[in-house]
Structure 1
Amino acid sequence: MTNPPGVLISAPSSGTGKTTVMLGLLRALAEDGMVVQPFKSGPDYIDPAFHRAAAGRASFNLDSWAMGPSLIGAIAAQATGADIVVAEGSMGLFDGVAKTGESGHGTSAETAQRMGWPVVLVLDVVGQAQSAAATALGFRMYNPELPFAGVILNRCASPRHERLTRLGMERAGMPVLGVLPRRGDLTLPERHLGLIQAIEHPDLEKAIVGYAAFLREHVDLEAIKRAASSGPYRQTSSALPRPPAQRIALAQDAAFSFAYPHLVEGWRAAGAEILPFSPLADEAPAKDSDLVWLPGGYPELHADRIAAAETFKTGLRAHAKTKPVHGECGGYMALGRGLIDKEGQLHPMVGLLGLVTSYEKRKFNLGYRRAELLEQMPGFSAGTALRGHEFHYSSIVEQPDAPLAKVFDAEGAEGPQTGSVRGNVTGTFFHLIAEASG
């Protein structure tokens, strides 16, 4: 099977404009009649939905810390039939963890090198000119085996600024694939976990069309197409995660939306039925579902509506009497007794767990997690090791139930976010990525 050629869009750090470049490039290439397959390197929950809106094709995460080679190959196989792959990196190109996981340190550079995708480095050149070339050269030389396509210079202030910056790049032997003038309107709305969700954007389609037009005017799309390449990575479509049940009621709305795409795709590919429902619309899960799965999201922004959703809460409680319920992060919070919002008001949640969480008492929790299950959870027996990622600001006020797992960070330090189990109900603050193979 021939792997489609691709590039990986990265940057020296977060906040350089790579997501705007990514969305504009996806749409511009699609407008040129190409079938474009997006990917996201790393454990980002939000960007894949933006990618899908821009490319018209589902985007999937690739993670060299949390995923073994077979799962990475299975996810890479989702590019079958595409003309080109465009992947977006996380954080800075070489940013990852100190201790390796299944495959590596979780860096965007590892993803690019494994897949054979040349890196397009987006450089914010505000406040510098020729000096930007030293940054670009350092990134190219840090790992000489990493394929490198060139740079896109972002937020260039003037024609003179561009000339000076190009001069430095020419001296460094660094191809310039585009120069983007500084524009204050080329930003995406953000909140405490980063970008807002795609479904919340007031006019996402208009924004993406604008990004594509901007990229088309200032970036050499043909040069990017020529630079695209791929390696001989093995595609193994049979290695996607297996479903934890046959009929899965999956909460899907603005409060519950962060389920990893490769998980849901694996469930569907194995023949499971996905039955979406909306707690915010006060919908109960399907009565004939075998499992209810509440993914992460922003329940703290919708706590009053969840508290008032009696049809949802009654239906979920009825299901939990005889069949399993699982919640991740925001879904875990909703399964608890109560949620305290940023004003300090306690909102009653479903009450299937005794958990009480607070957004008033904010605590930043971020990073990879390795969990060793003390009790079974849907799809996994006690003793299984899982890999996931945690990203939230809420803190635990009460957690009276039995712990679900021992949970460790990427460097092996054990943490207090153990998850909970009560009867048929389980919950974790980490988002499941994969079963650990070692």
Structure 2
Amino acid sequence: MTAPRLAPGLMIAAPKSGSGKTTVTLGLQRALARRGLVVRGLKSGPDYIDPAFHAAATGAPSSNLDTFAMPPALVSALAAEAATGADLVVAEGSMGLFDGVGDTPGRTGASADAAVALGWPVVLVIDVSGQAQSAAAVALGCARYDDRLTVAGVILNKVASERHRRLVEAGMARIGMPVFGALSKATGLILPERHLGLVQAGETADLAARLDALAEAVAAAVDLDALVAAARPTRAVSPAAPLVPLPPPGGRIAIARDDAFSFVYPHVEAGWRAAGASLHPFSPLADEAPDETADALWLPGGYPELHAGRLAAASRFLDGVRRFAETRPVHGECGGYMVLGETLEDEAGTTHPMLGLLPVATSYARRKLHLGYRVATLTADTPLGPAGSVLTGHEFHYASVTSPAPTPGEAFATVTDAHGSPPTPTGHRQAHTTGTFFHAIARG
């Protein structure tokens, strides 16, 4: 049997966060798709918002690649799936190009690791505001820092004037660095933000028009033909059988899906379906109860703190989940975990009663950032695996817990961070209900 042809790819990365990676990536994806190419997006790292924007820009699914949290075979399989039947993969990096965790070569979660593993050259987006020829020194450092990596060229962002562009390009010419294009300070896609980053794609008004406007600006400023020519074959292998990153919690999974419960990693849902499970969405904000024929219930992360009053008044939803939990497994991640708890205090300081299935109370009036990878060992048999199973995941929220910390006997898992912190009990389990702040990415 002939292996499917895999499209070539590029990694759009930057020396640091805030350089304009997402803006440039979306503009490139949309501009190339408007040319008639079949473009697929991927996101390096655990960011769960950007893949939905990629999907909107390209008209095709996107997913995450994570060399820290995913085994290499899963990274390869996800890249192979995206590259099959496509003309080009335009992946987006996270943070700075080499920013990662741990000390295992190739497994740090850095964008550079994903690019090297998959054979993709890097296109650097460099914010040149406040500098000129010095930007070339930054590009040269990125090109030489890791000799496994190929930097194909740069896209200059936030160029102040034609004279500024000439000075920056002179520096790049001195080091032999190709410049694919230059975007002015006036070019940009203004997307609304909230405390976890961008407002999600499904909530962004006039997103198609915004993407089209950005595509036109990028197409006018960037040599798209040269960029496509710089792409290199994707080095990935399609597995003989579908990989299942996390075991499905049931055969028929009722899953909350609306503006309050909006986040499940795309690769997790795809893995559940590949394992034979079916997903049955319902909307708590529309006061819908979970499907009574389901045998497991999943409350994803999202923004319940923005809708706490509506959720507290959604009697059909609340009663339906409580009935479900009497006999079947219910699991909540991050926002879902908070709603499974006793109370949720919103940003204004109003406390709202929640499901009361787990002994946890949370507050957004007392904000505190919790961010980072988690390596979790399950303390008991759960829908995500038997006791002793190891999961990798990621936590990102601003909620403070105002109730006592879980005891080892009631915790969902013990976790360490990517730097080997002491194991700490986290999350809760009570009867058929479990919950945790971290979003599971894969089995360890």
1:270-285 equivalent positions in 2, closer than 5 A: 270-285=275-290
Structure 1 counterpart of 2:291:
286
Structure 1 counterpart of 2:324:
319
- Secondary structure of the residue that 1:238 maps to in structure 2? coil
Structure 2 counterpart of 1:383:
388
Match of residue 371, structure 1, among 368, 373, 376: 376
Q: In 2, distance between residues paired with 1:89 and 1:232?
A: 17
Aligned amino acid, residue 385 of structure 1: V
| Residues 362/416 of structure 1: CA separation in 2 closer, same or farther (3 Å cut) | farther
Aligned amino acid, residue 362 of structure 2: T
Q: In 2, distance between residues paired with 1:400 and 1:104?
A: 32
Shift of 1:228: 0.6
Q: In 1, distance between residues paired with 2:256 and 2:178?
A: 46
Q: Are 2:66 and 1:58 equivalent residues in the alignment? A: no
Structure 2 counterpart of 1:119:
122
Structure 1 counterpart of 2:92:
88
Partner deviation per Cα, 1:187-237 (whole Å, 9 max, x = no partner): 322111111111121211111011110111000110111001124332225
Q: In 2, distance between residues paired with 1:240 and 1:86?
A: 24
Match of residue 255, structure 1, among 245, 260, 269: 260
Q: Are 2:202 and 1:199 equivalent residues in the alignment? A: yes
Structure 1 counterpart of 2:113:
110
Match of residue 412, structure 2, among 404, 415, 427: 404
Q: In 2, distance between residues paired with 1:386 and 1:44?
A: 18
Q: Are 2:438 and 1:433 equivalent residues in the alignment? A: no
Q: In 2, distance between residues paired with 1:360 and 1:415?
A: 28
User: What residue ranges of structure 2 are gaps of 5+ in the alignment?
Assistant: none
Q: CA RMSD in A?
A: 1.4
Whether the aligned pair in 1 keeps the contact of 2:391 and 2:440 (CA below 8 Å) is: yes
| Residues 224/76 of structure 1: CA separation in 2 closer, same or farther (3 Å cut) | same
Q: Are 2:158 and 1:150 equivalent residues in the alignment? A: no
Shift of 1:3: 2.2
Shift of 1:417: 5.9
Structure 1 counterpart of 2:307:
302
Aligned amino acid, residue 78 of structure 2: I
Q: Are 2:429 and 1:421 equivalent residues in the alignment? A: yes
- Secondary structure of the residue that 2:402 maps to in structure 1? strand
Q: In 2, distance between residues paired with 1:26 and 1:293?
A: 32
Structure 2 counterpart of 1:240:
244
| Residues 275/56 of structure 1: CA separation in 2 closer, same or farther (3 Å cut) | same
Which stretch has the larger CA shift, 424-433 or 297-306?
A: 297-306
Q: In 2, distance between residues paired with 1:190 and 1:155?
A: 20
Shift of 1:385: 0.6
Aligned amino acid, residue 146 of structure 1: L
Which stretch has the larger CA shift, 395-404 or 141-150?
A: 395-404
Q: In 1, distance between residues paired with 2:177 and 2:425?
A: 46
| Residues 379/106 of structure 1: CA separation in 2 closer, same or farther (3 Å cut) | same
Whether the aligned pair in 2 keeps the contact of 1:99 and 1:410 (CA below 8 Å) is: no
Aligned amino acid, residue 82 of structure 1: A
1:128-143 equivalent positions in 2, closer than 5 A: 128-143=131-146
Q: In 2, distance between residues paired with 1:429 and 1:381?
A: 19
Q: In 2, distance between residues paired with 1:415 and 1:193?
A: 26
Q: In 2, distance between residues paired with 1:164 and 1:77?
A: 40
- Secondary structure of the residue that 1:276 maps to in structure 2? strand
Structure 1 counterpart of 2:40:
37
User: What residue ranges of structure 1 are gaps of 5+ in the alignment?
Assistant: none
Structure 2 counterpart of 1:341:
346
| Residues 11/185 of structure 1: CA separation in 2 closer, same or farther (3 Å cut) | closer
Match of residue 19, structure 2, among 11, 16, 21: 16
Partner deviation per Cα, 1:154-177 (whole Å, 9 max, x = no partner): 010111001111100000110001
Q: In 1, distance between residues paired with 2:60 and 2:229?
A: 22
Whether the aligned pair in 2 keeps the contact of 1:369 and 1:409 (CA below 8 Å) is: yes
- Secondary structure of the residue that 2:190 maps to in structure 1? coil
Shift of 1:412: 1.2
TM-score by length of 2: 0.95
Match of residue 68, structure 1, among 68, 71, 75: 71
Q: Are 2:47 and 1:47 equivalent residues in the alignment? A: no
Q: In 2, distance between residues paired with 1:21 and 1:297?
A: 26
Q: In 1, distance between residues paired with 2:291 and 2:150?
A: 49
Whether the aligned pair in 2 keeps the contact of 1:27 and 1:208 (CA below 8 Å) is: yes
| Residues 204/190 of structure 1: CA separation in 2 closer, same or farther (3 Å cut) | same
Whether the aligned pair in 2 keeps the contact of 1:16 and 1:154 (CA below 8 Å) is: yes
Structure 1 counterpart of 2:355:
350
Match of residue 178, structure 2, among 153, 175, 180: 175
